[in-house]
Chains A and B, each alone.
Chain A
Amino acid sequence: MSLFRRHSFSHGVHPPAHKDGTAQMPIRRLPFPPQLILPLGQHIGAPAKALVSKGQEVVRGQPIASAAGAVSVPLHAPATGQVLRIESVPTSRGTREPAIILNVYEASTQEVLWQQPRHLDGMSRDALLQAIQDTGLVGLGGAAFPSHIKLRIPDDKRVDTLVINGCECEPYLTCDHRIMLECPDDLIRGIQLAMQASGTRQAIIGIEDNKMDAVNLLAEHLKDIPHISVQAVETKYPQGSEKMLIKSLLDREVPAGGIPADIGVVVNNVGTMAALGQLLPRGEGLIERVITVTGPGIERQGNYRVPLGTPIGFILEQAGYEGGANEFILGGPMMGPAVSSLDTPITKGTSGLLVLNEPQVRKESRPRWACIKCGHCVSACPMHLNPAWLGQLAAAGEYARMSESANLEHCFECGCCSYVCPSNIPLVQYFRIAKAINREQAA
C-alpha cells in the first residue's frame, strides 16, 4: 500500500455535512412515551413471532417475540408495561406491518429486569453466534441485517479482516460519532467479541476524516490492544457503503454481485459493535438505540437514546419543532425514507430523525428538465454504472434491458446520481421502480 494513497474510493459526491448542530451534543435520554409501537419485522429476514398476547404484562428486557428462523432475531420489551394489542401499523418502509402495542407503566422504575450474564471467554463460535442472535441485535447503521448472520462466515469462505464502519457519511447524522466518543470501551469490547465470533485476526475501524477527534480518541484507547487499528478515510459520500469502505481501507474490490466475505472481509457498523459490547456480556436484549434528531425544523437538536418503538410524534414533542409543511425523514437525507405518519416508530434500523422545514423543502423541490447528457451522474456513481443510460432505458420502459445490459442490479441506491443531476431527474427512483418490476416479472 503506497504511502501516498489517499484512503478513499473513486467517484462519489460531497454534499454539505450539516453536522455542526449535533456533533458536540452528548447523548441524552428522552422520557418514556406513554405507548410503544413495536413492529415484528424490524430487520431483514423473517419477522419475529409474537410471544405475548393482549393484556399480558411484561418487564423491561423480557423477550416478547422470538426469532422465526435462522435469518431472524427476537424482540425484547423496551419498557415495563402491558400489551395493549397486536395490530398492523404504518412503518418507515411505507407498508403496514403487524406490531405489538405496549402501554408503558408510568410508575415503573424502568430497570432492566431480564438479564442472563455469561462468561464469554473460551465460548465456541457457534455458541457465541447463538448468544448474539438472542440479543436481537441487527446492523444499526440502517440496513438492519441480523448481526449473527453477518458474523457467521460461510464454510467455503476464508475471512481475515473485520472492518468496522465509523464513516457516518450521511449528512446531518452524528449518532455514530457520539457513540465513538462516549462509549469507546463498549465499542472495543464489541469488536473483540465480533472477531471471536467471526474468527477474524485483525480489525480496522474506518472513520471519515471530518471526525478526527474520534480517530484520535480511539487510537489512544487501542494503543495497547493488538490487532485492532483505526484509520481515517476521506470524507465523501457514500464512504460508509461497505464496498466503498473496503476499497478505501484495504484496496480490495468486492466482486460485482458478490459479498465482502468473497475477498476475506466482514463489515459491521460502530453503533452495532458498541451495542454488542454492552449487551452480550450481560445477556441483555436490544431495547433502545441512539438516534440523531436534527434538521432545520427541530428546536432542540441532539443525539438521544430512545426506547425502540417510540413514535416520532413523541420525539418531536420532546425536541420541539416548527409546524407547517415539513418532511420527516428516518435516517439521513441521502437514503432515508420520508414517512407519512407521525405514529411511525423508531425501529432497530433507524439512525436518525431528520426534519426538513418548509423553506428547505421548497428549496429542494425544483422543476425537472430533459437529460442534457452532462455526464455528472456517470462521474458520481461509485459503482461506475452509467445512470444516464439507465435513466434513458427506464424512461423508455426497457426494464429488462436495464438488467441485462446496463447492470441495474449493481445499483445500491446511494442516490449520488440524483444528487448531482442538474436536470433534477429522479434517477434512483426510476431504478428502484425498475428493480421492483423486474422482480415481479421474475416471480
Chain B
Amino acid sequence: MSIELRTTPHLHAPDNVIIIMRNVVFALLPICAWSVWQFGISALALILTTLASCLITERLFNPRNTLGDWSAAITGLLLALTLPPAFPLWMAAVAGFVAMALGKLLFGGLGMNVFNPALVGRAFVQAAFPVAITTWTPALFEGRFREFIPTSFTLPFTIPPAVAEWNSRVAIDGFTGATPLGLHKFEGVSTPVLDLFLGNAAGSAGETSALIILLGGLYLAARKFLDWRIPLFVLLGAGLTAALFHALDPQQYPSAPFMLFSGGLMLGAWFMATDMVGSPVTPWGVVVYGLLIGVLTIIIRLFGGLSEGVMYAILLGNAATPLIEQFTQPRVFGEKRS
C-alpha cells in the first residue's frame, strides 16, 4: 500500500483550462459556420489558413507542446473572424504568425501575454496591408461555394486584383461591398438595425451576425467561462457614448443600436475584451475596463480616420489592465472603506 500526501484542498472544481478553452472554441464554431455560409469557400479558406498558421507557430516556437490547451486554436479562429473574408491568404498566414509569435510567445506563452494575440496579429496586418484589410466583398453572393473571391489567392509582392468590378458583378440587391460602418461614415447611408442584428451585411468574416455572437457569448457566460460583466460594460459604455453623440446631432452621429450591432463591437465585446489573460480580475476593474473599451470604441469610430475602432480600444484596454487592477484592489472583508 502506498500513502498519498497532497496539500489541501483535496477536492477541486471540475473545470480546468482545457475545458474552458475548448468551450470557447465551441462557442466560436457557429460564428465560423455563419461566416462560411455568408462568404463561401473564401471564408473557409481564410479560417483554415489562420488556424494552421497559429497552430504551426505555437508548435514551432514553444518548447513545451502546448497545442493541447486549445488556446492557439482560439487565436486562429478569432483572427480569421476579424479579417475581411477575401483577405489574401498569405497575408492571413503572416497575421497568424505575428499573433502567436509577437502577441503571445514573446511574452512567455499562455497566461503571460499582455495583449490579445489575435488583435496583435490584426493590428500588424492593418498597418502592413492597409488596402487589403479595407477591401470588402458582399455577403451571400451567388456562386460563393463554387468560386473564390479573386483576392484570396493574391501572391506575395503582387498587387491584389481589383474587386470593385467583381463586386458589381456579384452584388445582389441591397448589398454592396462596403461595411455598414463605412457606408455611414463615408457615404452617410444607414443599414437597418435588424439586418445588422441578424447578420445581413458585409463586414469582417465573423462580425456580421450579432445574434450568433450573442448566443455563443451567453453560453460561455452561463458556464462561467467568461466574465459577463466585461461585455455588459463594454456595450454599456459604447451604447451610452453613442446615444450621447446621437442626441447632440442625429444627422451626423448614428444611433446607439446601430453602433452596438455594427462592425466588430459585438465580437470584440464578447470574445476579445473577455480574453482572461489581458483583462482585470478585480470586481471594479472589469467595470472600468469594460467602460473604457466601450467609450474608446465609439470615440475612435466617430473621430478617427478608420470606420472601425474596437480593435484599438481593446488593445488600449489590455495595456491599461495592470494600472486598472492596481487601483481597484478589492476591499478586504472587515476592512473599513477609507
**Known contacts A253-B334, A327-B3, A378 near B8 by CB under 8 Å:** no
Q: Is the pair A243, B6 in contact by a Cβ cutoff of 8 Å?
A: no
Q: Does any Cβ of A come within 8 Å of B111's Cβ?
A: yes
Q: Does any Cβ of A come within 8 Å of B156's Cβ?
A: no
Residue in contact with B329 in the complex, picked from A15, A386, A410, CB distance below 8 Å: A386
Q: Is the pair B7, A428 in contact by a Cβ cutoff of 8 Å?
A: yes
CB distance from A317 to the nearest CB of B (A): 13
Q: Is the pair A366, B334 in contact by a Cβ cutoff of 8 Å?
A: no
**Known contacts A329-B10, A423-B17, A361 near B281 by CB under 8 Å:** no
CB distance from B268 to the nearest CB of A (A): 18
Residue in contact with A327 in the complex, picked from B5, B15, B331, CB distance below 8 Å: B5
Q: Is the pair A364, B16 in contact by a Cβ cutoff of 8 Å?
A: no
Q: Is the pair B1, A370 in contact by a Cβ cutoff of 8 Å?
A: no
Bound form: Cα–Cα A407–B111 in Å: 24
* Stretch from A146-154, A188-196, A335-343 contacting the other chain: A335-343
Bound form: Cα–Cα A413–B4 in Å: 21
Q: Is the pair A365, B17 in contact by a Cβ cutoff of 8 Å?
A: no
CB neighbours of B9 from chain A (8 A): 333-335, 415, 418-419, 428
Bound form: Cα–Cα A225–B103 in Å: 68
Known: A413-B8, A419-B9. 13 other contacts (CB 8 A): A13-B13, A254-B334, A256-B332, A326-B4, A334-B9, A356-B10, A364-B12, A372-B110, A374-B276, A386-B281, A418-B12, A424-B16, A432-B7
Q: How many positions in chain A have a CB within 8 Å of any CB in the partner chain?
A: 69
Residue in contact with A326 in the complex, picked from B1, B11, B283, CB distance below 8 Å: B1
Bound form: Cα–Cα A16–B12 in Å: 10
CB proximity to A under 8 Å, residues B1-57: 1-13, 15-17, 19-20
Bound form: Cα–Cα A138–B110 in Å: 48
CB neighbours of A335 from chain B (8 A): 8-9
**Known contacts A378-B282, A386-B281, A361 near B4 by CB under 8 Å:** yes
Q: List 7 A-B contacts (CB under 8 A).
A: A243-B334, A257-B334, A328-B3, A370-B112, A383-B332, A389-B329, A407-B332
Q: How many A-B residue pairs have CB under 8 A?
A: 165
**Known contacts A378-B283, A413-B8, A386 near B330 by CB under 8 Å:** yes
Residue in contact with A255 in the complex, picked from B11, B112, B334, CB distance below 8 Å: B334
7 closest Cβ pairs, A-B complex: A370-B111, A375-B281, A415-B9, A333-B10, A327-B4, A256-B334, A256-B335
Q: Does any Cβ of A come within 8 Å of B109's Cβ?
A: yes
Q: Is the pair A325, B333 in contact by a Cβ cutoff of 8 Å?
A: no
CB proximity to B under 8 Å, residues A392-420: 406-407, 410, 413, 415, 418-420
CB neighbours of A413 from chain B (8 A): 8
Bound form: Cα–Cα A181–B277 in Å: 49
B residues neighboring A (CB under 8 Å) = 1-13, 15-17, 19-20, 69, 109-112, 224, 227, 276-277, 279-283, 286, 325, 329-336
CB neighbours of B2 from chain A (8 A): 324-326
Bound form: Cα–Cα A410–B336 in Å: 14
Q: Does any Cβ of B come within 8 Å of A226's Cβ?
A: no
CB distance from A23 to the nearest CB of B (A): 18
Q: Is the pair A378, B11 in contact by a Cβ cutoff of 8 Å?
A: no
Q: Does any Cβ of B come within 8 Å of A98's Cβ?
A: no
Q: Is the pair A423, B16 in contact by a Cβ cutoff of 8 Å?
A: yes
Q: Is the pair B333, A426 in contact by a Cβ cutoff of 8 Å?
A: no
A residues neighboring B (CB under 8 Å) = 13, 15-16, 171, 243, 247, 253-258, 323-329, 333-342, 354, 356, 361, 364-366, 369-379, 382-386, 388-389, 406-407, 410, 413, 415, 418-424, 426, 428-429, 432
Q: Is the pair A428, B8 in contact by a Cβ cutoff of 8 Å?
A: yes
Residue in contact with B331 in the complex, picked from A371, A374, A384, CB distance below 8 Å: A384
CB neighbours of A364 from chain B (8 A): 6, 10-12
CB neighbours of B329 from chain A (8 A): 386, 389, 406
CB distance from A238 to the nearest CB of B (A): 11
CB neighbours of A366 from chain B (8 A): 12, 16
Q: Is the pair A333, B11 in contact by a Cβ cutoff of 8 Å?
A: yes
CB neighbours of A385 from chain B (8 A): 330, 332
* From B4, B6, B16, B333, residue with most partner A Cβ within 10 Å: B333
Residue in contact with A15 in the complex, picked from B11, B111, B336, CB distance below 8 Å: B11
Q: From B7, which residue of chain A is reached at the shortest CB distance?
A: A429
Q: Is the pair A338, B16 in contact by a Cβ cutoff of 8 Å?
A: no
Bound form: Cα–Cα A254–B280 in Å: 28
**Known contacts A340-B5, A389-B325, A422-B20, A410 near B11 by CB under 8 Å:** no
CB neighbours of A243 from chain B (8 A): 333-334
Q: Is the pair A370, B110 in contact by a Cβ cutoff of 8 Å?
A: yes
**Known contacts A366-B16, A385-B330, A407-B332, A171 near B11 by CB under 8 Å:** yes
CB distance from A9 to the nearest CB of B (A): 8
Bound form: Cα–Cα A247–B334 in Å: 10
CB distance from B31 to the nearest CB of A (A): 22
* From B1, B13, B286, B325, residue with most partner A Cβ within 10 Å: B13
Q: Is the pair B6, A338 in contact by a Cβ cutoff of 8 Å?
A: yes
CB neighbours of A337 from chain B (8 A): 8
CB neighbours of A424 from chain B (8 A): 12, 16
Q: From A237, which residue of chain B is reached at the shortest CB distance?
A: B9
Bound form: Cα–Cα A388–B329 in Å: 11
Bound form: Cα–Cα A166–B2 in Å: 35
Bound form: Cα–Cα A420–B17 in Å: 11
Bound form: Cα–Cα A418–B10 in Å: 10
CB neighbours of B325 from chain A (8 A): 389
Q: Is the pair A336, B8 in contact by a Cβ cutoff of 8 Å?
A: yes
Bound form: Cα–Cα A247–B279 in Å: 31
Residue in contact with A325 in the complex, picked from B1, B16, B286, CB distance below 8 Å: B1
Q: Is the pair B334, A326 in contact by a Cβ cutoff of 8 Å?
A: no
CB distance from B75 to the nearest CB of A (A): 13
Q: From B6, which residue of chain A is reached at the shortest CB distance?
A: A338
CB distance from B108 to the nearest CB of A (A): 8
Bound form: Cα–Cα A50–B112 in Å: 56
CB distance from A16 to the nearest CB of B (A): 8
Q: Is the pair A334, B8 in contact by a Cβ cutoff of 8 Å?
A: yes
**Known contacts A325-B2, A364-B12, A428-B9, A378 near B330 by CB under 8 Å:** yes
CB neighbours of A429 from chain B (8 A): 7-8
CB neighbours of B331 from chain A (8 A): 384
Bound form: Cα–Cα A325–B11 in Å: 17
CB distance from B72 to the nearest CB of A (A): 13
Bound form: Cα–Cα A419–B13 in Å: 6
CB neighbours of B13 from chain A (8 A): 13, 15, 419-420, 422
CB neighbours of B3 from chain A (8 A): 325-328, 339-342
CB distance from A417 to the nearest CB of B (A): 9
Q: Is the pair A376, B224 in contact by a Cβ cutoff of 8 Å?
A: yes
CB distance from B335 to the nearest CB of A (A): 4
Q: From A9, which residue of chain B is reached at the shortest CB distance?
A: B333
Q: Is the pair B8, A415 in contact by a Cβ cutoff of 8 Å?
A: yes
CB neighbours of B1 from chain A (8 A): 323-326
CB distance from A415 to the nearest CB of B (A): 4
Q: Is the pair B332, A410 in contact by a Cβ cutoff of 8 Å?
A: yes
CB distance from B24 to the nearest CB of A (A): 11
CB neighbours of A375 from chain B (8 A): 227, 276, 280-282, 286
